[in-house]
Structure 1
Amino acid sequence: MIIELAGMPGAGKTARANELAREHGLKIIQAPTHTVSLVTEGLMGALWRPIASYNLLALILKECNRGIRRSLFVNGWLGSSAKYWRARHGGIIDQGYAQALIGALPQSSDARRIIRVLSIFDRDFELVWCDTDQRTRAERLSERNYQPREEFGESERKRFTEEGERAYRLIRELSGKDNYPERSVSFIRRLVKTAGYLFSYFISRLEFPQTEITVLMYHSIDRSGWKLAVTPEMFERQMKYLAHNGWAVSLADVVAYAKGEKELPAHAVAVTFDDGYQHVLTVALPILERYRIPATVFLPSDMSARTSPDDRPRLTEEELRTLARSPLITIGSHAETHKKFTELAPEEMKKESVNSAEKLAGILGKRPSLFAYPFGSRSTVAETAVKDAGYEAAFGISEGTVRPGDNLFGLKRVQVDSTMSFILFRLRLTSAVDWNRRIVDLLRRA
């Protein structure tokens, strides 16, 4: 997960970044201080997100003041691109492309370019806007004895004071979900990813026998444009495909298969949801019931635990009871407060695991036997803590199929999100996911 914060000066971005870092167990990413590293990593980050970086650069170059252009180029474009490159596996970015957009003071006529820059946040990024009233911002800036752009002269300070708020509102409006809900991944990126999986699929066909047992991991089913949200239409199409092929099995069946206690068909798929969002009850459950597909919902027992940057609504205790009454639904633990286990002491891991099981047992009258690590964060110590808490098996987010003899406390799943086309969905139900992981790992080590 990559989270970026943006807002007007004095809006509290740094404080919010520290809060999110603690809540999600992520590091705050800093730009390189060495010039060579800044240039190298900045160019790598720009090439990683070419459409957004090109359009931001074009907006920056429109700036008439040479000093501002240079500052926005070095800090806003090159520095932010370097942060993206450093954060490509996860992190918090305080001031990136969105903040640089505000600094470029774009006009409404630049809307097309602004949207192209903001399209980056439909992919691997979450954009969190920090907003507060103008009086509070002014007080904070006064405490720092600083006024935006004062280092560039009085005229530039006045210009930003007059136009900054307008630019901020324009950019925030264009970052709304209705402006680019389908820009999850660029066409070229999607094409390359699909081609890679097709290659992996053909290699996987050389394996005999071809037993493919997959556990799918969903989060929310809605039209918000969030990367981890799948639209109801796509979710129904995916469930219809599983039902048509007769591949759907319960997660308990997969665990029994991994133990060597149960045989499964050559192709079998279990469905899981993480975090326990309300859409699982209101949107996903009717679709699951229509196609008779069992599912396991992993959720933190603390119903107030924060599990997404935008605080999307989670199930209440009463809604959880309603959901659990369905014969198709199994409830599993996602720890107590959704904290990253690798950031906790062993005794805290044990406490999170035990307390969650006891709380869910109190709500539902049945103790959960299955566990999913928050953020997929696990270690041998975490596995031991979960096992000692009495769980039968636990799942991470490492991708791959499930095989007999697999580590029961490190079982693999395959994430399904808004970036996935239906063709890619079908490919990732096969052992192509294993071969793709091997190829990617090999390329990273090269």
Structure 2
Amino acid sequence: MIIELFGLPGAGKTTLARELAQNYGFVAVKVSGFGELIILNFIFLFENPIKFIAGLYFILTNSKNFYYKVMNCFFQHNAKFQKAKRMENAVIDQGHFQNLLSVLENAVSFGKMEKYAGFFPKPDKLIVLNVEPDLAQARLSQRGWTPRQSLGKQYLTQWSLVIGQNYRTFLDNIDKFDVAYSIIDAFKTPSEILTETMNAIKI
């Protein structure tokens, strides 16, 4: 079984992945070095040529910072999914669906989002850790860390607005994405989130 976690930065994806690994025997999927990254992507390309080419094309035509996005949002996610397929119970804390937030530089329509997601390999269950964008940002501020902070304040301000809009578009249309999912309130306690996740995946 492949579980993929989805949510805004600060929603608790990494924490939940760690809890699933420690308490229920899931493997939190990580790629071990550049060699494994390349090998797994060659396998992914061989097994999913259309998904591979379409996903790469979408990133190259719809985002800036191409090297960062291709390495971290394309090659990494392809490799993690390919590796997860070998495992009995795997959890991916950031996978292809996260690209609906990570890759896009502008707020997009549901139609464009749906077209992009149509090329994603599907997990057995997508767990959405739901939190409002302003609350997620407040949580990150408390931690003293923000994704992409090295790219500058102006970029971060714009990106925060875009990611919030795209997140709401995704949630408003989640039933149309052809993936099994459960939405969990990310402001519950870690133990409550873990229990709800296990109930949702019914192992």
TM superposition shift of 1:24: 3.9
Q: Is the 8 A contact 1:31 1:80 kept in 2?
A: no
Count of residues paired in the alignment: 186
Distance in 1 (alpha carbons) for counterparts of 2:137 and 2:128:
18
Aligned to 1:73: 70
Where structure 1 has 5 or more consecutive residues not aligned to the other structure, the ranges are: 181-224, 228-304, 313-337, 339-374, 376-446
Structure 1 segment 79-98 matched on structure 2, within 5 A: 79-90=76-87, 91-98=90-97
- Correspondent of 1:117 among 102, 116, 119: 119
Q: Is the 8 A contact 1:3 1:128 kept in 2?
A: yes
Deviation by residue 1:142-175 (Cα, 9 ceiling, x = unmatched):
1332233221223321221111111122234444
Aligned to 1:170: 169
**Secondary structure class of the residue paired with 1:311:** helix
Aligned to 2:21: 21
Deviation by residue 1:370-392 (Cα, 9 ceiling, x = unmatched):
xxxxx6xxxxxxxxxxxxxxxxx
Aligned to 1:416: none
**RCO comparison, higher one (Cα < 8 Å, 6+):** 2
**Secondary structure class of the residue paired with 2:9:** coil
Distance in 2 (alpha carbons) for counterparts of 1:56 and 1:79:
13
TM superposition shift of 1:98: 1.1
What percentage of residue pairs aligned between the two structures are identical? Answer: 24
Letter in 1 for 2:73: G
Deviation by residue 1:284-315 (Cα, 9 ceiling, x = unmatched):
xxxxxxxxxxxxxxxxxxxxx96975627xxx
Q: Is the 8 A contact 1:76 1:100 kept in 2?
A: yes
Larger Rg: 1
Q: Is the 8 A contact 2:73 2:103 kept in 1?
A: no
Distance in 1 (alpha carbons) for counterparts of 2:147 and 2:10:
10
Distance in 2 (alpha carbons) for counterparts of 1:175 and 1:49:
24
Distance in 2 (alpha carbons) for counterparts of 1:125 and 1:53:
20
Aligned to 2:53: 54
Q: Is the 8 A contact 2:10 2:136 kept in 1?
A: yes
Aligned to 1:322: none
Deviation by residue 1:17-40 (Cα, 9 ceiling, x = unmatched):
12333454211011232x222122
Distance in 2 (alpha carbons) for counterparts of 1:173 and 1:166:
11
Aligned to 2:200: 311
**Secondary structure class of the residue paired with 1:130:** strand
TM superposition shift of 1:126: 1.6
| Distance 1:3-1:46 versus aligned 2 partners, 3 A rule | farther
TM superposition shift of 1:97: 0.7
Aligned to 1:32: 32
Letter in 2 for 1:70: Y
TM superposition shift of 1:52: 3.8
Deviation by residue 1:366-421 (Cα, 9 ceiling, x = unmatched):
xxxxxxxxx6xxxxxxxxxxxxxxxxxxxxxxxxxxxxxxxxxxxxxxxxxxxxxx
| Distance 1:71-1:172 versus aligned 2 partners, 3 A rule | farther
Letter in 2 for 1:164: I
Distance in 1 (alpha carbons) for counterparts of 2:125 and 2:49:
18
| Distance 1:310-1:104 versus aligned 2 partners, 3 A rule | farther
| Distance 1:144-1:130 versus aligned 2 partners, 3 A rule | same
Moved over 4 A (4+): 305-310
| Distance 1:130-1:53 versus aligned 2 partners, 3 A rule | farther
Distance in 2 (alpha carbons) for counterparts of 1:309 and 1:57:
33
Aligned to 1:149: 148
